[in-house]
Structures are given as C-alpha cells and as structure tokens.
Structure 1
Amino acid sequence: MSSKTSLWPSRADYALTPKTWRQDLLAGITVGIVALPLALGFGISSGAGPEAGLITAIVAGVIAAVFGGSNVQVSGPTGAMVVVLAPIVAAQGLQAVVIVTLMAGVMVLGAGLLRLGRAVSFIPWPVIEGFTMGIGVIIFLQQIPALTGPNGNVSGHTNVVVAAALSLLNADPVYLMWALGAVAVVVLCMVWLPRLHPAIPGSLIAVILASVLAALTPNPLVTIGALPRTLPMPSLPAFEWGTLTSLLMPAVAVAALAAIESLLSARVAASMANTGPYDPDRELVGQGFASLGAGLFGGMPATGAIARTAVNVRSGGRTRLSAIVHALVLLAVVMVFAAPVGFIPLAALSGVLMVTAARMVNVSIARSILRSTRADAIAFIATAIVTVSVDLIVAVMVGMVLAGIFAIRAYSAAAGVHREVLPGEPQEGDQRIALIMIDGPLFFGSADRILEDIMDTKGVSVVILRLSKLDAVDASGANSLTEVVQRLEAAGITVLIKGLREQHLELFKRIGVISALRHPNHLFGDLESAAAHARSHVLRESAG
C-alpha cells in the first residue's frame, strides 16, 4: 500500500478538519498540558536540559504532524530516547546531542525515502514488550540520583543500576526526605485525580501543587531554573570529521530507535480509533524532518510518543490539527510562562517520570508472554535484561536473534520425511521400492536432517521422492536434495521424482537436482506412473 502513496503532505490530510476542528482543538490543548512536564523531565534526564525538551516538543511536534504518516501521532522527546542520549551527553557533551540529532534525522529521512517503513513489522511482539519494560525500568532508575541530593550521580557511572545504587549510598538524608515528599505529592495526584474525572491533567496539577508547596516552605530542593522566553535561532553546529566518525554508531542507534518507536506508536494509534490509516514510509520521512528541525534549533531527536498519542486519540483528536495545537500550547508556555516554570522542583518532574515509567511496565502483558511459549518468554526476558544492563539497540538485536533462532527451530521441525505404501495392489518386489514423502519447508534449518532421514533407507533398488507437499525451498534445501540424489544414484539406487511443483522447478534445475537424476524422464506428474516405472525397473533388474 505504502509504495503507491505519496510521501508528502497534501490537502487530503485536512479533509476532515472542517468537521472535527473543535475536538481537535480541545485534544491539542489537553495533550499540550500533559506534554509539558514530560518534555521538561525528559530534557533534564537526558542531560540536554529542560529547554532542549521543550524545543523538541515544539519544533518536532509541528514538523512531524505536518509531514508524518499518521493523522493523530504526537511527537517529541521520549523516555526511550533519553536512555540513549544520557550516555552520549555524559561522554561527549551537549554539542554531541545536536550533531547526533541531525545525523539521525538524515538516516531516518533516508529510510523513509527508501520505503523501509514496513521493516518494523519484523520485530516480534515479545521483543517489543521486553524492550518497553526495560526502558520503563531505566527511566525509573534514572530518577533516583536526582532525588538523593544536588550532586546526583556522584560516581558518574553510566550504568543506571550502578548509578542508582551508589547515589543511594551517598544520599543526603535531609534532601532525600524532601525529594520523596515531592514525589509522593506527584504520585498521589497522578494516580487519584484522573479517577475523579479522566479529563483532569493529573501530571500538570501534581507539578503545580508540588511547586506551590515548595515555594511556601523553606526547603533544599533544586528547581529547573531560568528558561529562555523565545525559541533560539536555527543554526548548524561546527562539524569535524573526527567528531562525525566518533558519533556515527550513536547516531545509528538513535535513528533505529526513532524509527522503531515512531512506527510502533503510529501503528498503536491506528488501532485505537477510526482515525484513518497510517503510512509507515511517510512517517519515517516526517520523523526525519522533525529531528532535523529540532537539531537546528538545539533540541533532541524526536520520536512518536505513544503516551501522548494515546491521550490525543482518547481526547477526541482526529486530524493533524490536534498535534499542531499541542506544539503551539507548549510554545505559549515558553513565551508567556517561562518564569514560573523555572520554579518547578526537579524532584516533582522526577515523580512524573517515575509514574510514567511504572505505567510502561505492563504486568498483565508480561504475564501473558511468560505463559505463552518458552521461546517467547526467553526472548522477552532477555530483551528486558539486556535493555537495562547493556544497550537498547543491542537488546533489540539480541531479542530478534533469539526469536529468529526459535522460529527457525520450529519451522525446521515442521519439515518431515515419511515412508508411504505404494498405490494399487501389492506386487512382488514392492519391498525393494521406497516411496518417500517430503513435506513442509526444505531450507537450511531442516536440510541436513532430511538428508540423513532419507539416506537411512536400506535394502531398496528404487526411491520415489514424492515432492507434491513440499513448501518453501531455499538453495540449501535444493542442494541437500541434489546430494541425496547423487549419493543414492552412486549407490546403485534409481531415484524417481514425483509431483515436483512448478515454483520449485527452476531452482532445482539451477542447483542440479534434475541433472543428478539418472535420466531426465525420471520426473513424474502422478504417483501411479512413478510407481509403475519403479516396478518395471525392479522386474528388469530381477530378470537380469
């Protein structure tokens, strides 16, 4: 479908806007309110700063809404991206984030132009859920150093588990108590207020309440600090070849993550309500442009945000207008409310992110996967553990490799070799004819086993290979069948092939299955003819 659609914006994107603009407007305002504390928190957690989170939500939010492939996707900074960016900032500084953002934007844009959007469908569900759970754990652990004192991660360790443990060991007890109090206020508001009414923005009210209480009470809590009142002018960072090469692999990781998360979010949004189909290739184009725009303004890489997109759909958003309004709401905050936003305690934002992270760990989904199959459970657990302990992209690769190994193993087990009875009335000499059915897939995973099973056939003069139920065949499978024919013929056993399917004929000719037969006439379309030829061969052999 996507190969026939345009990758660029059109008037059709806003065909429903005259009918839905009121609900789109309200949905956009709602999402903007929800996005504010998340944009600030993710910017701070990444190390790029709160202004970088806001810039990304504003600039990328508008660009992705206009150029993206989903009518309701809301884009901006996300927790998964924070997990990748934090080590980059720690190792190479803030300037590296801008360069990585631009490089990743080019890569994602290129993937969209090459129409690689469908690739995300090859990632198994257990891997995606393990990846998501791991990200939730990391985001939660990332907040602990911010709660233990102004110095936070005094160890400077990049592993979140180690950094969280060391920060607790070196915590300022007084600061920790105040910070936990702010977190408690935020958690209570975010958990209980939406139960009174779903439209209540629990996170925003939580942050406001925690900020007011902090302002009225003498306390040691660190606040966000001064924020710019306008967006910076776009500019290009200084590029050096050595810097680009050192940041290439981080940029690849960021691009892969941006593509995966954006496409998953768009796919989830399309299943939540009748908001029209999404185009995965155009979504990559939009997200590529969004990261490029955010990078030029000094922001972070952008991705589709599942939580904010879900709020948009549930609030009634139906066209791209709602995502655009969400970005304009955040722009208004920067231009009008920058001063009061600067008084928000960092501990309050940590509380928001902790609740967000906890909601990413879906216990019911985890239980379902763990109860499904052993292969899926292993892929899920391994992906989650590697995500937390090593790296996000490595985790996806490990999960996919494990899932692939188990899939190949199951696929290989579907192939079988069965000896059957010859058709018609039994005749003298039938015991010297082996009718062997090969069914299922014949590929590299099953080829050697099938070869061994066939070669175990003893005491016969003729082997009929019945291939009418043979499914997919690759070069390895065809080569193994060639070897079977050659070894049987070399042992003086005549091989007949019955029921060769049309889609396999050309491959068998190229690999040498057909030429390995003693005679080209040893190909048969029906079983009766093959059996008759085999019986006549046995009679001639007996007479001789």
Structure 2
Amino acid sequence: MLPKGFFRGRYQGYSLQALQKDLISGIVVGVIAIPLGMAFAIASGVKPEYGIYTTIIAGILISLFGGSKYQIGGPTGAFIPILFGVVMTYGFENLLIAGFLAGIILVLMGLFKLGSLIKFIPRPVTIGFTAGIAVIIFTGQIPNFLGLSGVEKHELFIDNMKEIVFHIDSMSIYSILTALICLIMVILTPKLFPKVPGPLIGLIVSTLLATFLYPSQVATIGSTYGEISNSLPHFAFPEITFEKIQLLIRPAFVIAILGAIESLLSAVVADGMSNSKHNSNRELVGQGIANMVAPLFGGIPATGAIARTATNIKNGAVSPMSGIIHGVVVLLVLLLFAPYASKIPLASMAPILMVVAWNMSERHVFYHLLKTKTADSLILTVTFLLTVFVNLTAAVEVGLVLAVILFTKRMSDVMVITKVLPNQKHEKVESQIVSQTHDCPQISIYNVEGPLFFGAAQTFEHSIMNTIHFRPKVLLLRMGKVPFMDTTGESNFASIVNHFSQHGIVIISGIQQQPRELLQKTGLYDTIGEDHFFDHTGEAINYALNEINQNKCLGCKHFAFRECDKLSGAKNDAVEKQPAFSS
C-alpha cells in the first residue's frame, strides 16, 4: 500500500506532451542501456542476460519508487569489481543473496533517514575507489580487445595481468580489428551525430562486419556464454540461511554503501542539470526495493547510472515515466531481438567498457587532489591502490578509517590553549602582554579554542596543568570558542577541575550551549558551581578579584589588572566593582 500522496508532485498535471517527451528520452536511454547492461554483466562474471534482466526490473522500480524524477537505474561499472569478487569467491547464487541483503540495507538506510550521511564520505575516498574501479574495468577488457585465448579470470589484479602477459602471443588480428572498428564508432558517433547512441552503433557495425567477413574467427557472446534466451526471467526466491547471512553480510554492506553513493551522486548531478531537488532518503528506499526484487529474477545489483541519467535529461525527460519506458524498451528488445545479440563479438564489448572506464576515472580530479600533496592525497592514493591491488571492500574500509584518523589529527591541531591577560588600553584579553614581569600570581586566565573531543582532550589537560607552575588561587577558562565537547573532553576537563579545586577555584566564561549541556548531564556543572559560570570575561575577572588573598597583593609589581594599583598599596581597601573590561 503506497502512502497517501506518494506520486503527488511527480505526475501532477502530467500531459500528453509530457508523455511524448518521456517516450523519446525513454527509448533513447533504453537503446543505450542494452549493450551496457550486457557488458557490465559479462565483466561481473555472469551471463549477459542477467544484465538485461537487471536493466528491466531495477530500472522500472527505481523510477517508480526512487526520490529523483530523472534517475535511470541499472547495472553500472562501479559494481564490477565487487560483483566479480563475490561470484569468484561465493558463486552466482550467493551473489543474488548478497544483492538481496544489500537491498534490505538500503531500505533501512532510507527509512532511518541516513541519506544525508552519505555526504560525509570524504571525496578522496570516492575518487580513489572510482579511479581504481576504472583501472580494473579497463585492464579487464584487454584480453577481449586483443582476442587472447586460454585466459583465466582471477579476483586479484596482479594475477589477471600475469594472465595477459602469459597469453599475449595468442592475440587475434580479427579481434583487434573488430574492437578498433567498435571503438572508432563509439568515439566518433557522438561528435558527428549527437543524438545517436555511440555504443549501439559500434556494436551493430562491428558485429555485422565480423559476421559477414570473418564469422568464425572471433569469440562471440553465444560461443562463450550460450544463446541469449528471449523468454522472460523466472521467479525464484534464494535460499537464505543465517549462515549465509553471516557469510555475505560484509560484501552486501559494501554493495549497499557503493550503491547509495553512486545513486545519490547521480541524483545530485540530475539536480544540477534539471534545476530540481531529489529526496535522498526516498531514493535509498527505491534503490533498496529494486535490489531486493531484481535478484528474485536473476538480476544483479543495480544503482543510479550517471551517464544514462544525464542522457535522459538531455533528451527532454520530464518525469520518472521516462525511466519506466526505458525498462519497457529493453524488455521489448529482449523479447524480439535476443537471439541476434548472441552474435555480438566479445571484442565489440571490450571498447565500450574501456570508454566507460575512461569516462568514470575522474582523472582530472584525481590529478588535482594528488598534486595538492596533503593528507587528502594520501587517502586518495591508499584507497586507489587498495582498490586495484587488494579489493574494493578493503579500500573503502581502510580509506574511511584513514580519513577519520587524519581528520581527528587535524581537529586536534586546531585546539589552541593560550595564557592571556587584559590589555587595559584596548580592554581586550591578549596573549602577547603576558610575561614573567607582567602576570598575576593569583589569577591565571586561559583562552581555550577548538573542539574539546577525544583527539584533543589530553592536549588540553596537559597544556593547562603543565603551565600552572605557581598554583594560582583562581583558574579562569574562556571557553566561548569551544563549539563542541565529548565525554572524553569532559573527563579531562573534570580532571583539571578536581585537581585545581584542592587549593583554588575554577571559573568559566562564555561557554557555549552544547558543552554546557554536556557538563550538566555529567554533573560537572554542579561540581564547578553555577555561580562560577559567567557570560562575559569582565564579570568573571571581577568575581576572581574578590576571591584572591589580598594580603599577597601588597607590594606586587605585576599590575596585571587595573585594580592592582590600589590592591598592591592598600591592604584594607575594598576591590573596585567596575568591570575590568566588557568582552
């Protein structure tokens, strides 16, 4: 049962003219999606028809239930390494289960409104694994491009490179010629005929030439994977057990995270091109539904496809109906022309995937981040290398952990603790006026700036305790520039309070709402005392001057405050009540 108003705003005022625009864009994108669906399936280690099934089922469901008006969903190149790894390690049946579990995770992410959290994944991590995926896809098509025979596919990049080297002498001039013809068509067609899909023209031209000029000289989809059936996929619920869930939850989680990132990035691109606004949480739910249903019909994991979504918008799409039409178009082609697809040479598929890899590599952004020679460059490089030489799962995990560690280090470096005194000329507190001859022996004032969290908490405590050599009577902490405090920071703060309270008092000025609320929850606020918290530093200094031992002020030559002239020369005079300064 769909919620009330589910389609409101998406089809409101939908007209025949709008349908005509969606029909044109849907047909164009559907035609483009056919060769890509088969190519991505083959590269993922499964039969090409499973890519077609995914394009149909996931494409329609993502458009129906997703959060973007223009999103086109289906199999994408980003999934190739992880899906191929799952197939090699666990088998095709378990890939379907992993995809189903990923769908559940995506739905839960959407329901718990985690769509906005994807933006917290650092750009160097996404660029790093995207570039790594591009390298894997590109190099993975070299055997088909060259027509190498006897090549075995491995999960590791190094092993696949060895296979190419060992079998390089088996290259076929016919395969190379077929691949070059397709590559030329893919590159030139968009320039000469912008509205015509280059991959489809490349496939048709190269397939026709290979079929009529050298029909038995190149490997085809049919000779390698068997004939593509033009029948509809059969429904079959996978056998899911607790043991299989334990086995596959890790790759399922990676599939879900990768699918969420790709789909939301695609939705953001669509927003920029169409001046629209997507619903990120609804998009995750739609992606999850599609990935739960597709495996039931033999489909592989799917996500939003940036290139196809952009093509959809460029061809005039006005609603999700174009995405539904794109799926129907692919279904009709499957029913009518599937047997002919079996004659497509694998060498024709290779350049299509190579161009996809080249376009998705984001090489300009990669180079830009690399040349900055910052911590982001390190995250980028590590993520990229792990994606290529280990696997995508390890790359994402290590990349995120490394990003968190380096971010924590950067944030801890932001923490600044400086000893200050009022500058009586400018009525501001400054650090440069503090010296051995100008520093109050009884009142120590510190500026605390930056987040007081686990990465900076120890630095905060040591900086305060190591600089209080003469044990002042009052410790005044100016905390107006501490935006955040966690429980580790609170613990170290409590250590300072407990240590200092044995012989003096701690007073706080300008504390922000979040740190104040945390101190109230932990009880440290009451330990310090509500009367020791002040909005302004001037009020805090006036309070501190009333708490000091005025006998020790007699003869003092530091003159840290304007009241010191009177205090140092008159034992029994009262402390002036006027503010030391206003800030």
Q: 1:90 to 1:530 in 2, by over 3 A?
A: closer
SS at structure 2 position matched to 1:14: coil
SS at structure 2 position matched to 1:335: helix
Shift of 1:168: 3.1
Which whole-Å CA distance do the structure 2 matches of 1:279 and 1:171 have between them?
A: 49
User: Match of 2:366, as an amino acid?
Assistant: A
Using the TM superposition, name which of 460-469 and 445-454 deviates more. Answer: 460-469
Shift of 1:360: 1.2
Q: Residue 495 of structure 1: which of 503, 506, 518 is its match?
A: 506
Partner of 1:451 in structure 2? 461
Shift of 1:10: 1.6
Which whole-Å CA distance do the structure 1 matches of 2:149 and 2:439 have between them?
A: 89
Which whole-Å CA distance do the structure 2 matches of 1:310 and 1:104 have between them?
A: 25
Which whole-Å CA distance do the structure 1 matches of 2:190 and 2:98 have between them?
A: 37
Q: Residue 159 of structure 1: which of 131, 156, 161 is its match?
A: 156
Partner of 1:532 in structure 2? 542
Contact 1:383/1:398 (<8 A) preserved: yes
User: Match of 2:538, as an amino acid?
Assistant: E
Using the TM superposition, name which of 500-509 and 185-194 deviates more. Answer: 500-509
Partner of 1:262 in structure 2? 263
Shift of 1:493: 4.0
Matches of residues 350-429 of structure 1 in structure 2 within 5 Å?
350-372=350-372, 374-422=374-422, 424=424
Which whole-Å CA distance do the structure 1 matches of 2:517 and 2:325 have between them?
A: 58
Q: 1:469 to 1:105 in 2, by over 3 A?
A: closer
Partner of 2:144 in structure 1? 146
Does residue 507 (structure 1) correspond to residue 505 (structure 2)? The answer is no
The TM-score with structure 2 as length reference comes to 0.85
Which whole-Å CA distance do the structure 2 matches of 1:42 and 1:145 have between them?
A: 16
Aligned residues: 535
SS at structure 2 position matched to 1:468: strand
SS at structure 2 position matched to 1:430: coil
Matches of residues 82-231 of structure 1 in structure 2 within 5 Å?
82-147=80-145, 149=147, 151-154=149-152, 156-175=153-172, 177-218=173-214, 219-225=216-222, 226-231=227-232
Contact 2:146/2:347 (<8 A) preserved: no
Contact 1:190/1:202 (<8 A) preserved: yes
Contact 2:104/2:288 (<8 A) preserved: yes
SS at structure 2 position matched to 1:12: coil
Q: Deviation string for 1:233-278 (max 9, x for gaps)?
A: 322234455444433333222222222222222222212222x321
User: Match of 1:436, as an amino acid?
Assistant: Y
Contact 1:429/1:538 (<8 A) preserved: no
Contact 1:429/1:539 (<8 A) preserved: no
Paired-residue identity, %: 34
Which whole-Å CA distance do the structure 2 matches of 1:465 and 1:343 have between them?
A: 78
Does residue 478 (structure 1) correspond to residue 475 (structure 2)? The answer is no
Which whole-Å CA distance do the structure 1 matches of 2:71 and 2:533 have between them?
A: 57
User: Match of 1:527, as an amino acid?
Assistant: T
Structure 2, unpaired ranges of 5+: 426-432, 555-570, 572-583
Q: Deviation string for 1:60-94 (max 9, x for gaps)?
A: 11111111111111111111222111122223332
User: Match of 2:335, as an amino acid?
Assistant: M
Does residue 40 (structure 1) correspond to residue 49 (structure 2)? The answer is no
User: Match of 1:165, as an amino acid?
Assistant: K
Q: Deviation string for 1:446-495 (max 9, x for gaps)?
A: 111121121213233432222233221111222222211222333x3443
Greater RCO, CA 8 A, separation 6+: 1
Q: Deviation string for 1:298-325 (max 9, x for gaps)?
A: 1111111112112112222221111112
Structure 1, unpaired ranges of 5+: none
Partner of 2:480 in structure 1? 468
Q: Deviation string for 1:487-506 (max 9, x for gaps)?
A: 2333x344332333444333
User: Match of 1:337, as an amino acid?
Assistant: F
User: Match of 1:507, as an amino acid?
Assistant: L
Which whole-Å CA distance do the structure 1 matches of 2:438 and 2:387 have between them?
A: 66
Partner of 2:58 in structure 1? 60
Q: 1:269 to 1:499 in 2, by over 3 A?
A: same
Q: Deviation string for 1:128-156 (max 9, x for gaps)?
A: 111211111111122123345575533x5
Which whole-Å CA distance do the structure 1 matches of 2:523 and 2:171 have between them?
A: 79
Q: 1:237 to 1:449 in 2, by over 3 A?
A: closer
SS at structure 1 position matched to 2:175: helix
Contact 1:266/1:278 (<8 A) preserved: yes
Which whole-Å CA distance do the structure 2 matches of 1:28 and 1:428 have between them?
A: 78
Contact 1:415/1:438 (<8 A) preserved: yes
Which whole-Å CA distance do the structure 1 matches of 2:143 and 2:171 have between them?
A: 14
Q: 1:319 to 1:373 in 2, by over 3 A?
A: farther
Q: 1:7 to 1:288 in 2, by over 3 A?
A: farther
When the two chains are superposed, the root-mean-square deviation of aligned CA atoms in Å is: 2.6
Partner of 1:28 in structure 2? 26
Contact 1:145/1:164 (<8 A) preserved: no
Contact 2:82/2:393 (<8 A) preserved: no
Using the TM superposition, name which of 357-366 and 54-63 deviates more. Answer: 357-366
The TM-score with structure 1 as length reference comes to 0.91
Shift of 1:7: 9.7
User: Match of 2:303, as an amino acid?
Assistant: T
Which whole-Å CA distance do the structure 2 matches of 1:8 and 1:86 have between them?
A: 40
Contact 1:232/1:297 (<8 A) preserved: yes
Q: 1:273 to 1:462 in 2, by over 3 A?
A: same
Q: 1:107 to 1:8 in 2, by over 3 A?
A: farther
Which whole-Å CA distance do the structure 2 matches of 1:348 and 1:148 have between them?
A: 11
Shift of 1:412: 2.0
